[in-house]
Amino acid sequence: MNDSKQSSSSAALPIMDAEAISRALRRIAHEIIERNPDLRSVVLAGIPSRGDEIARRIAGFIAEIEKIEVDSGVIDVAMHRDDVGTRAELPIVKASQLPTSLEGRTVIIVDDVLFTGRTVRAAMDAIGSFGRPARIQLAALIDRGHRELPIRADYVGKNLPTAANEKVRVRLEQTDDEPDAVRLSKE
Amino acid sequence: MTSLTRCGYRKNESAREHSGERARLACWRSWPGFVDFRKQNAPASKKLHDHSAQKFAKAGRFRQQARPVRYPTMNWNRKDLLGLRELSADEINFILETADAFKQVGTREIKKVPALRGKTLVNFFVEPSTRTRTSFELAAFRLSADVINLSASTSSLAKGETLKDTARNLEALHADILVLRHSSAGAPQFLGQRLKASVINAGDGAHEHPTQALLDLYTIREKRGKIAGLHVAIVGDILFSRVARSNIFGLVKLGARVTLVGPITLVPREFEKLGVAVSHKIDNVLPEADVVNLLRIQHERQRKEYFPGLSEYTALFGLTKERAKLLKPDCLIMHPGPINRGVEIDSEVADGAQSVILDQVTNGLAVRMAVLYLCGGIST
């Protein structure tokens, strides 16, 4: 790890630690169980790269609580974004892994931070190409506001009012080689 | 050092969100560091490490015990794909990684994504082609681009318009991507420098055919899990083959051992300068090859004096049923198509279990989608 990164993370405001993240995800798991009596039809679709790790953890909590293994997969949104061709940098595309037919299933999109809603719109578009699910729900670890589309999360780990120039950084052990944490920093 | 591309650690965090998955990152394992094409004579493993150590010691930012970084990302900043010679190993790997995602699209119920919606692609094939043109066309459809097909006979080239004028007219109609096949080497470079549109080389003379080589690399990587360290034999008409040249550049950069096999008239020793071995006896090479890539004998580019006749070629270099028994059981048999059954390959071998010829066609679609997405998707 280089020095500049360390100094920037020490200036950041801690929002959640590993335990808080774990509690929030456990609560989301409970809410998913409560809202979806037929858990076997549920598919958790994580948006890379932290959303799929969060989806795996939620699936783990559901298995712990209800002893049911729900399907969990990865939904890539890069090629469904509405800003391809207008950005100087392309989002990196990753292979999606979902059950081939989503007919009649309940798909829960899982992401780390819910911000403008554009990523979620792209994810809904991507899910549509796998079939026609019965319903789509949305789970996010952090909802930071500033929506640009009419999109609302069904399950939220923490509502975090932010200014537009602030940055929410989620760190997970499996994806970042750092202890679990959520921090808020100024641009 | 060859052209060092903008590949490195990202500073802004949002960009890391879309980086690749750990499990599929086999080709990034050797990262950081990329193969310096001009230092191929040094022992392969040692050279890579020395090179990267030097590079990072100079930068002074990376300690010896630095944590492994799992998500190296890359800034793709090329509007054109002209050949593999100018690409770095990292860039080639990046295209292959991207193709993984597009291969998955082919398995969905709806095999179409909106990535290039509103873009126009012109398939400009001055030389005839069915396979490559259809593959590019289908790739563009799957990315939601609009496609126009032009051939030499249907364009005003037949009326004496120059290539540049035809291309500038296409650009005036707001074509965003130009896929060009031309009988002259360098035609795509010529247009790439003069047009704002992306130019994708779909074969120029006997020079390069980058997407064919990329799909060959993709198929090898998919079937064998790696490319570095494999021994690849390229058999046939090397002298006239753009497929062979692009394959040589790509394979050598990714660390494979390449042996060219064919009659002395079609495989001159000059090719050894590209870092490959040359052999004129196929039976010596087959038993130790991990991949055999057979090339078509190109009647249209050849005059008779290169070899006496097709039957003699088959007797000396064709992959017959008997010769196929020399191969390792896990050796892959590849062919860019169209196959001349009974000339460079026997029917039984072409349809056999070791043949991945049809996988190459499927992968070609994914690789071309990746190339169109990368070159056509950046804003210029």
**pLDDT attached to residue B254:** 96
| Gap between the Cα atoms of A181 and A169, Å rounded | 8
Q: Which of A85, A95, A125 is closest, CB to CB, to B379?
A: A85
Amino acid at B213: A
Put simply, whether B100 touches A (Cβ < 8 Å) is yes
Query: Residue B345: beta bridge partners?
Result: B319, B341
The HSE-up count of residue B338 (CA atoms within 13 Å, CB side) is 7
Residues from chain B that touch A93, judged by Cβ atoms under 8 A, are 18, 98, 101-102, 370, 373
pLDDT the model gives residue B290: 96
**pTM across the whole model:** 0.80
Chain A: nearest CA to B75, how far in angstroms? Answer: 6
Would the pLDDT of B283 be above 90? yes
- Please report the DSSP string for B246-296 in residue order: HHHHHHHHTT-EEEEES-TTTS-GGGGGGT-EEES-HHHHGGG-SEEEE--
Segment of A24-38, B35-49, B146-160 carrying the highest mean pLDDT: A24-38
The minimum CA-CA distance between B12 and chain A, rounded to whole Å, is: 10
For the segment A19-24, the average pLDDT, to the nearest whole number, is 95
All residues of chain A having their beta carbon less than 8 Å from the beta carbon of residue B371 are none
Q: Is the pLDDT of residue A20 over 50?
A: yes
Q: Residue A19: is its pLDDT beyond 90?
A: yes
Q: Which distant-in-sequence residues (6+ apart) come within 8 Å of B106 by Cβ?
A: B142, B362, B365, B366
Look over chain B and give the mean of its residue pLDDT values, rounded to a whole number. Answer: 81
* pLDDT value, residue B19: 42
What is the Cα–Cα distance from A4 to A6, expressed in whole angstroms?
5
pLDDT digits (tens, 9 = 90+) for A143-166: 999 999 999 999 999 999 999 889
In the predicted model, what is the mean pLDDT of residues B31-48? Answer: 44
User: Residue A64: is its pLDDT beyond 60?
Assistant: yes
Following CA atoms B124, B130, B133, B137 in sequence, which dihedral angle do they give, to the nearest 10 degrees?
Answer: 120
Lowest average pLDDT, out of A81-85, A94-98, B222-226, goes to A81-85
Taking the CA atoms of B138, B140, B143 and B145 in sequence, report the sign of the dihedral they define.
Answer: negative
pLDDT tens, residue by residue, A101-116:
888 999 999 999 999 9
Residue B313's SS3 state is: helix
Partners of B112 on chain A (C-beta within 8 Å) are: 129
Give yes or no for residue B314 having a pLDDT over 70: yes
pLDDT band, very low/low/confident/very high, at B236 (cuts 50, 70, 90): very high
- Cα–Cα–Cα angle for A139, A140, A142, rounded to 5 degrees: 155
The residue count of chain A comes to 187
Quote the CA–CA distance of B244 and A146 in Å, as a whole number.
Answer: 53
pLDDT at B302: 60
* For residue B11, pLDDT beyond 80: no
Closest CA–CA distance from residue B114 to any residue of chain A (Å): 6
Q: Indicate if the alpha-carbon torsion angle A124, A127, A129, A135 is positive or negative.
A: negative
Q: Residue B222 and residue B225: Cα distance in Å, rounded?
A: 5
Asked if B66 is an interface residue toward chain A (Cβ–Cβ < 8 A), one would say yes
CA separation for the pair B31, A137 (Å, rounded): 38
Task: Considering only CA atoms, give the Rg of chain B.
Answer: 21
What's the pLDDT at B271? Answer: 93
At A88, is the pLDDT very low, low, confident or very high (cuts 50, 70, 90)?
low
Name the burial class of residue A92, with classes exposed (0-12), middle (13-18) and buried (19+) by CB atoms within 10 angstroms of its CB: buried
Task: Give the closest-approach CA distance of B13 to chain A in angstroms.
Answer: 7
CB contact under 8 A, A49 and B17: yes
At B133 the pLDDT is: 94
pLDDT tens across B354-375, in order? Answer: 999 999 999 999 999 999 999 9
How far is B152 from B307, CA to CA, in rounded Å? Answer: 31
Residue ranges of the alpha helices (H) in chain B? 44-59, 89-105, 131-142, 163-172, 187-194, 210-224, 242-253, 282-285, 310-317, 321-324, 347-350, 357-377
Nearest CA in chain A to B66: A1
Confidence band, pLDDT 50/70/90 cuts, at residue B304:
low
What distance lies between CA B286 and its chain's CA centroid?
23
Interface of B with A in 42-61 (CB under 8 A): 61
Tell me if A111 sits within 8 A of A81, measured CB to CB.
Answer: no
Q: Which of A94-98, B37-41, B132-136 has the lowest mean pLDDT?
A: B37-41
**Does any CB of chain A come closer than 8 Å to the CB of residue B124?**
no
Is the separation of the CB atoms in B126 and B151 below 8 Å?
yes
Q: Residue B11's CB: how many other CB atoms inside 10 A?
A: 10
Interface confidence (ipTM) of the complex: 0.81
How far is residue B213's CA from residue B220's CA, in Å, rounded to a whole number? 11
pLDDT of residue B294: 95
Distance CA A131, CA B71 (A): 31
- Chain A residues close to B105, C-beta within 8 Å: 79, 129
Question: Dihedral, CA atoms, A56, A62, A65, A67, nearest 10 degrees?
Answer: -100
Q: Tens digit of pLDDT for each residue in B109-140?
A: 889 999 998 899 999 998 888 889 999 999 99
Q: What's at B114, amino acid-wise?
A: P
Domains of chain A with bracketed CATH: 15-186 (3.40.50.2020)
Chain A residues closer than 8 Å to B19 by CB:
48-49, 92
Task: Tell me the chain A residues in contact with residue B114 when contact means C-beta distances shorter than 8 Å.
Answer: 79-80, 82, 125
C-alpha Rg value of chain A to the nearest Å: 16
Q: How many CA atoms lie within 13 A of B70 on its CB side?
A: 16
Q: What is the 3-state secondary structure (H, E, C) of chain A?
A: CCHHHHHHHHHCEEEEEHHHHHHHHHHHHHHHHHHCCCHHHEEEEECCCHHHHHHHHHHHHHHHHHCCCCEEEECCCHHHCCCCCCCCCCCCCCCCECCCCCCCCEEEEEEEEECCCHHHHHHHHHHHCCCCCCEEEEEEEEECCCCCCCCCCCEEEEECCCCCCEEEEEECHHHHCCCCEEEEEEC
* Whole-angstrom distance, CA of residue B230 vs CA of residue B232: 6
- Rounded distance between C-alpha atoms, residue A109 and residue A136, angstroms: 7
- Check residues B77 and A115 and name the one with the higher pLDDT: A115
**Confidence band (pLDDT; 50, 70, 90) for B238?**
very high
Measured between alpha carbons, how far is A113 from A159 in angstroms, rounded to an integer?
10
Alpha-carbon distance B248 to B230, whole Å? 13
Local structure of B122: helix, strand or coil = strand
pLDDT bin (cut points 50, 70, 90) of residue B75 is confident
Q: How far apart are CA B75 and CA B69, in angstroms?
A: 16
